[in-house]
């Protein structure tokens, strides 16, 4: 007797809980989007596939790290990871919510909305006593049929950000630490100037999360954005290399704002020696 196909669940929103994922683990595609040292060895949620932002899921022909690939390159990479158009996708990372939001935003920028971030990431999964297994270096399953359908405007360039800085209806929010924003702490990438874009506002991405590493409730998130940006409803998000800017994008989405834009080059581009203006101080 044939085994019936397992139906793909509806994604309940931009975030899913560990309980939800635990109950739907065999019905969704799960990606580990950890970056840097967090990718080395360790454990994973059972069956999770590597979403390598340090490798094939970034454009290494670009002058700055973590640049969004072309639509064609993203489509090929995601097909190689076995994703079909009808799948539901959950992304997580080993830090909590750090680089997983970048993977979530990339899927959305390619027109794929059946994607969510695991609230609290791998630490929350482990804290709940849910099973883990040895991490796999690569995905070895069948190829998928994913189709990229790019949405213009979810990733923007430096000229678009420069225009946004002069638009009183738009708030440009920088997710870096307050010390890096002020220029009192050195940039981790050599050769970059310290400081921030004149007119940008500082919202360190960690301030959108509680002490347990989960995102704060929607009402609290709304209060954070309103305290900083007032009544403005349009946002452009920046950070060091376009990764934690996506945590701000996630927070704004949860708070009920419309789609913002992520500055893909972020400070890795703007902070290069150039004639683009830089401000220091708070």
Rounded Cα–Cα distance for residues 81 and 169 (Å): 40
CB atoms within 10 A of CB 163: 12
141 bridge partner residues: none
Catalytic residue among 89, 171, 192, 239: 239
CA 264 to chain centre: 11
Q: How many CA atoms lie within 13 A of 167 on its CB side?
A: 15
Closest CA to 21 of 38, 9, 32, 3: 9
275-279-281 Cα angle (round to 5): 160
Taking CA atoms, 164 is separated from 47, 123, 158, 160, in Å, by: 42, 36, 10, 6
Instruction: Write down the pTM of the prediction.
Output: 0.96
Residue positions counted in the chain:
282
| Confidence at residue 6, expressed as pLDDT on a 0 to 100 scale | 72
One digit per residue, the tens of pLDDT, for the chain of length 282 reads 344 457 899 999 999 999 999 999 999 999 999 998 777 668 999 999 999 999 999 999 999 999 999 999 999 999 999 999 999 999 999 999 999 999 999 999 999 999 999 999 999 999 999 999 998 888 999 999 999 999 999 999 999 999 999 999 999 999 999 999 999 999 999 999 999 999 999 999 999 999 999 999 999 999 999 999 999 999 999 999 999 999 999 999 999 999 899 999 999 999 999 999 999 998
Domains and CATH numbers, the chain: 15-134 (3.40.250.10), 155-270 (3.40.250.10)
Q: Does the annotation count 239 as an active-site position?
A: yes
């Amino acid at each position: 007797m044939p085994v019936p196909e397992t139906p793909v669940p509806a994604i309940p929103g931009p975030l899913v809980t560990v309980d939800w994922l635990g109950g739907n683990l065999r019905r969704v595609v799960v990606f580990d989007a950890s970056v840097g040292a967090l990718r080395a060895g360790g454990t994973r949620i059972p069956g999770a596939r590597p979403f390598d932002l340090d490798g094939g899921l970034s454009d290494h022909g670009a002058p700055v790290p973590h640049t969004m690939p072309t639509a064609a390159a993203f489509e090929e990479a995601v097909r190689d990871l076995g994703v079909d158009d009808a799948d539901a996708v959950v992304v997580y990372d080993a830090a909590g919510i750090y680089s997983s939001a970048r993977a979530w935003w990339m899927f959305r920028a390619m027109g794929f909305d059946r994607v969510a971030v695991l609230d609290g990431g791998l630490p929350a999964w482990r804290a709940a006593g849910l099973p883990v297994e040895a991490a796999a270096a690569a995905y070895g399953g069948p190829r998928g049929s994913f189709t990229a359908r790019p949405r213009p405007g979810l990733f923007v360039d430096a000229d678009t950000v420069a225009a946004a800085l002069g638009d009183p209806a738009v708030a440009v929010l920088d997710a870096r630490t307050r010390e890096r924003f002020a220029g009192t702490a050195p940039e981790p990438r050599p050769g970059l100037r310290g400081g921030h874009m004149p007119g940008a506002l500082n919202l360190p991405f960690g301030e959108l999360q509680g002490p347990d590493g989960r995102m704060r409730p929607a009402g609290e998130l709304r209060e954070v954005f309103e305290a900083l940006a007032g009544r403005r409803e349009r946002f452009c998000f920046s950070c060091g290399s376009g990764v934690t800017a996506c945590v701000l994008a996630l927070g704004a989405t949860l708070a009920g704002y419309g789609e913002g834009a992520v500055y893909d080059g972020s400070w890795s581009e703007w902070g290069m020696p150039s004639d683009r203006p830089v401000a220091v101080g708070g």
